[in-house]
Chain A
């Protein structure tokens, strides 16, 4: 699990409210699962509290990288009493198999869950080979 503790208000970051300013950045690896589909794989990633515009998905060769920023729901005049190491950001890096075509990645965000569908390369899909007549 990747985890970093940094102050939120760095040189290139502006915090909108006191609750964010006082809270250290906690980056965690989100819960995720993978499963095979008829044409490739499906990856389900839990990203509670993240809106679509705060997700960054990048692919490079066989590597898939997902970074997401959780929306801070706390109001400026709220004071944190306790939490269970609730994340402020999520980061997930996956190394996928070469038979998957990352250019076919389709993403959907619903109920705090990001679902990615990735198809195999056309040449990797099972195909029937016919025997020609002599």
Chain B
């Protein structure tokens, strides 16, 4: 089982949690937000999987982007306000093939590992 982290463990340990949470005008109080969005990081045979709890948001209200080798999540709606999270990615993540799925308020992001390029064997003739 692979134990390689996609990013520097120190960077991940200091995850940027909530950058901004604003509550727009609402008719009813929203649940008291937790100090940090609950998340879990797994190592998988294909790479890594990140799971983030985002209850109360539709798929269309969540934006996932890559910026400066960081995965940025932004969720926003009238009832819940805005939640921004950022996760630093390491060089081993294949950023062109990231998949995300939202199920029952949990966002699951699959981060594949870059394929290792096998060294090319060449025979060099001696002149």
Contacts and interface: CB of A to CB of B under 8 A. Distances in A.
Give the secondary structure class of B's interface: loop
Interface residues on A, range: 20 to 34
Interface in A32-65: 32-35, 42, 44-51
B32 A113 contact: no
A48 B28 contact: no
Nearest to B12: A82
B39 interface: yes
Contacts of B48: 81
Given A81-B5, A84-B38, A86-B51, A49 B105 contact: yes
23 contacts: A31-B32, A31-B33, A32-B32, A33-B29, A35-B29, A44-B30, A44-B31, A46-B31, A47-B55, A49-B53, A49-B106, A71-B104, A73-B103, A78-B44, A79-B1, A80-B41, A81-B3, A81-B42, A84-B36, A84-B37, A84-B40, A112-B54, A112-B104
Interface of A: 19, 30-35, 42, 44-51, 71, 73-75, 77-87, 111-113
Interface of B: 1-3, 5, 12-13, 28-34, 36-45, 48-49, 51, 53-58, 103-106, 108
